[in-house]
Chain A
Amino acid sequence: KAGVTQTPRYLIKTRGQQVTLSCSPISGHRSVSWYQQTPGQGLQFLFEYFSETQRNKGNFPGRFSGRQFSNSRSEMNVSTLELGDSALYLCASSLGRANTEAFFGQGTRLTVV
């Protein structure tokens, strides 16, 4: 069974640009969550999608957005990039029932210069 796949693995962008990250969940999983990991703030929840609907949202500005497709694949977009957006972005998939375990991808390392 394939795991969670995130693409690309590494990305370098310039301040002010926008970026789109992709996540393919484990087959059969309908929930996809996104997390930002930085040395200063640790792991912070961005948002969760279930069956193409955003079900939970963290405390991030509107520049961070996401969507989920009918095949459960998800994308997140960050517009008007800032230096502080440099981070490891992790995607997690799960069955979508409360308190079930989440399986993480290897992450996308975004560097904003």
Chain B
Amino acid sequence: GNSVTQMEGPVTLSEEAFLTINCTYTATGYPSLFWYVQYPGEGLQLLLKATKADDKGSNKGFEATYRKETTSFHLEKGSVQVSDSAVYFCALTYNTDKLIFGTGTRLQVFP
């Protein structure tokens, strides 16, 4: 079946450091890929998405590129801020609205 695998957290960084959170997927066909972010005590917010191979999603300095050959959708940001501290979820959908999520990666950014 379809699934998403994320790197284990927490990821701990100093402010202005470079961020990468790895995400790989298993799917039949070509899914749509998403990154969601969850701040403490909140629901999920869509961060970015990509719907076909080689698409790059970007938002608020975050980027992720849909790589079909490596079945990956890694999240990157060039310079993190303390306010980026949150849990990040990689997810996919395939021909439905049902989101399949990874386990989430907690990011902690210190000043």
Check if A45 is an interface residue, CB within 8 A of chain B. Answer: yes
Contact B97 A56 (CB under 8 A): yes
Contact A45 B99 (CB under 8 A): yes
Contact B42 A92 (CB under 8 A): no
CB-CB under 8 A for A98 and B44, given A42-B103, A42-B104, A43-B89: no
- Shortest distance in angstroms between A96's beta carbon and chain B's nearest beta carbon? 7
Note all chain A residues with C-beta closer than 8 A to B45: 104
CB-CB under 8 A for A48 and B43, given A43-B89, A101-B34: no
0/1 interface trace, chain B 73-100, chain A, CB 8 Å (1 if under): 0000000000000000100011111111
Q: What is the predominant secondary structure among interface residues of chain B facing chain A?
A: loop
Closest residue of chain B to A43 (Cβ to Cβ) is: B101
Note all chain B residues with C-beta closer than 8 A to A68: none
Contact A102 B51 (CB under 8 A): no
Which residue among A43, A48, A103 has the maximum number of chain B CB atoms within 10 Å of its CB? A43
CB-CB under 8 A for A99 and B51, given A33-B98, A48-B98, A92-B99: yes
- Shortest distance in angstroms between A45's beta carbon and chain B's nearest beta carbon? 5
8 Å CB contact of B97 from A6, A100, A107:
A100
Note all chain B residues with C-beta closer than 8 A to A105: 43
Check if B32 is an interface residue, CB within 8 A of chain A. Answer: yes
A55 to B48, CA, bound (A): 25
8 Å CB contact of A56 from B34, B42, B98, B104:
B98
Closest residue of chain B to A42 (Cβ to Cβ) is: B103
Check if B46 is an interface residue, CB within 8 A of chain A. Answer: yes
Note all chain A residues with C-beta closer than 8 A to B41: 106
0/1 interface trace, chain A 88-113, chain B, CB 8 Å (1 if under): 00101010101111111111000000
Which residues 29-86 of B have a CB within 8 angstroms of A?
Answer: 31-32, 34, 36, 41-46, 49, 51
Contact A33 B101 (CB under 8 A): no
- Shortest distance in angstroms between B53's beta carbon and chain A's nearest beta carbon? 14
Q: CB within 8 Å of B: which residues of A?
A: 4, 6, 31, 33, 35, 42-43, 45, 48, 50, 55-56, 58, 90, 92, 94, 96, 98-107
List 3 tightest A-B contacts by C-beta distance, closest first: A99-B32, A104-B43, A43-B101
